[in-house]
Each structure stands twice: as structure tokens, then as C-alpha cells.
Structure 1
Amino acid sequence: MVIKVIGMGCENCDKLYENVMEAVKETGSDAVVEKVGDLMEIVKLGVMAAPSLMIDGKLVIAGRTAKTSEIVRLLKK
């Protein structure tokens, strides 16, 4: 599983990254977590709102900071 936290480094983007890392830890997942902050890469991914979250290439959260519990549910799907 590849998880991408997308955003240019704002406070909300950093919080989403922290929540993702906590969710990965809680679930015991062996997911690879990437932080995407390069504007050109964000455009290539087709993301228009930050912070956003992609799991295996699918945009699952856009324009908000998800709580750890919500991310845990997404990882368990």
C-alpha cells in the first residue's frame, strides 16, 4: 500500500501527515507513506485542494485534515 499526503507544507498538511503516521502505526500496516510537496508533482497527480490524501493512487480525502480514526477506517478497507 502506498499512501501519499499531498500539500505544500502548511500546518494542516503537516497535521494530516502526523495523523496518517499514527493511523499506520495503530493498524500495524506496512504501508509506504510519502509526503508530496512539489507543486509540479501535485499538479501531475491532479489534486486541486490541500491537504489531500491518496491511497494506492485513489484520492480519498481532499481539502481537509482527516482525524486519525477516519484514516484508520480507510486503511482497514
Structure 2
Amino acid sequence: MSSMIVEVLGTGCKKCQQLEANAREAIANLNLEAEVLHITDPMKIAERGVMKTPALVINGQLASQGKVPTPEQIQPLLAVD
């Protein structure tokens, strides 16, 4: 089983950093193996079709944008097989 890839898309603002922290906490809570990447390049973010940051992408699927979900809100998004 390959580990999942969780990407935080945002330019590094406080909300982006909070989203990354929440995503890492959600991953830890579920004892998952995941690679967490932080994409800060505005061009790469725009290429994904993301209009509002911060955005959360799980295995290439946009899970949320323009808000900072809590670890509890992120956990069900990670529970994919």
C-alpha cells in the first residue's frame, strides 16, 4: 500500500500554516502514513484550479479551499481506501 500524498496549497500565510498543522494532526490521529507537501508557488496553485487559499489536496483530489478545517474535519477526508 502506497502512502497518501496530502498537499497544502497556499503562499505560507498563517492560515496555510494552520491548515498544514491540522492536516498533520489528522494524519497522526489516524496513524496514517502520508507525505505532506506545502505548495507555495502561486503559478502551481493556479494550475490546480484553486481560486481561494489555503487549499487541501488529498491524493490529487481537492478536499477543501478557502478555509481551515479542523483536524476532526480533515480526518474523514483522509479515510479513503
Report if TM-score (shorter chain) is over 0.5: yes
* Amino acid across the alignment from 2:41: D
Q: Does 1:27 align with 2:30?
A: yes
CA-CA distance at 1:45 after TM superposition: 1.4
Q: Does 1:38 align with 2:41?
A: yes
Unpaired runs of at least 5, structure 1: none
Q: How many residues align?
A: 77
Percent identical = 35
What SS class does the counterpart of residue 63 from structure 2 fall into? strand
Q: Deviations over 1:14-40 (max 9, x none)?
A: 100000011111111111111011111
CA-CA distance at 1:50 after TM superposition: 0.4
Unpaired runs of at least 5, structure 2: none
* Amino acid across the alignment from 1:7: G
What SS class does the counterpart of residue 64 from structure 1 fall into? coil
Q: Which has the higher helix share?
A: 1
Superposition TM-score, scaled by structure 1 size: 0.94
Could you tell me how far apart the structure 2 residues matched to 1:44 and 1:2 are?
18
